[in-house]
């Protein structure tokens, strides 16, 4: 089994796939691609990954990209820690959270790229638009948690890593974040499988 990830180990989407593989207790190799050098457009990778995107998982000749699809494939194929809730409605909500965090909140993603979390990059204060999106994020996260600080659905799921990742974009630079959400995101960040990603060696960044 092989997982293609970005060379900076900064992709939030590679993160959840990496964590999912570890949670399932699977043995896998990693191959890094320099996205800045457009290595993902190379013919060899393009022949493997239909969408030419990372992360891409290769398992027994089957190549799959898009992180939420990879997570679902792993959960449905292998034993180990459940990545998604057993209850159908909770499972649908977890998928909703993943889809939302991948398609919305663009000002936060633009102004607080994951380099600030994993590589120590600095950024100026949030714009008005990003602050508005942060408020939207906080409102949704607090509603989803419904008073909890440990997880979204009564037991850990991979959607917890996705949500914590979005919150950490703000927390690491000292942006105002409700205390309950800081507690929640910090707890997710302490999970051993997440720590393995956080503690991976990374190349120095230039220009960020």
Alpha-carbon gap, residue 94 to 71, rounded angstroms: 12
Alpha-carbon gap, residue 197 to 106, rounded angstroms: 24
Q: Is the peptide bond before 55 cis (omega within 30 degrees of 0)?
A: yes
Mean pLDDT of 45-73: 92
Contact 188, 161 (CB under 8 A): yes
Burial of 86 (0-12, 13-18, 19+ CB in 10 A): exposed
Q: Which two tokens stand for residue 154?
A: 């009564």
* pLDDT classification of 181: cutoffs 50, 70, 90: very high
Mean pLDDT of 20-34: 95
Per domain, the residue ranges of the chain are 2-81, 88-192
CATH no. for 2-81: 3.40.30.10
Give the pLDDT of residue 120: 87
From the candidate CATH numbers 1.10.10.1100, 2.60.40.420, 1.20.1050.10, 3.90.1150.10, the one assigned to the domain spanning 88-192: 1.20.1050.10
Enter the pTM of the model: 0.94
Comparing C-alpha atoms, which of 69, 64, 5 is closest to residue 35? Answer: 5
């Amino acid at each position: 089994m092989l997982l293609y990830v970005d060379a900076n180990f900064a992709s939030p989407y590679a993160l959840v796939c990496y964590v999912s593989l570890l949670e399932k207790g699977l043995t896998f190799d990693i191959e890094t691609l320099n996205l800045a050098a457009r290595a993902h457009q190379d013919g060899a990778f393009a022949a493997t990954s239909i969408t030419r995107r990372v992360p891409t998982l290769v398992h027994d000749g089957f190549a799959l990209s898009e992180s939420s699809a990879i997570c679902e494939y792993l959960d449905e194929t292998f034993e180990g820690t459940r990545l998604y809730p057993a209850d159908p409605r909770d499972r649908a909500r977890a998928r909703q959270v993943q889809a939302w965090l991948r398609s919305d909140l663009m000002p936060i993603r633009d102004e607080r790229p994951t380099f600030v979390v994993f590589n120590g990059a600095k950024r100026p204060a949030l714009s008005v638009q990003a602050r508005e999106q942060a408020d939207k994020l906080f409102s949704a996260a607090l509603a989803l948690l419904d008073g909890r600080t440990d997880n979204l659905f009564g037991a850990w799921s991979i959607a917890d890593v996705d949500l914590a990742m979005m919150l950490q974009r703000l927390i690491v630079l000292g942006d105002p974040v409700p205390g309950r959400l800081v507690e929640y995101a910090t707890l997710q960040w302490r999970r051993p499988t997440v720590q393995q990603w956080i503690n991976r060696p990374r190349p120095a960044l230039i220009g960020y």
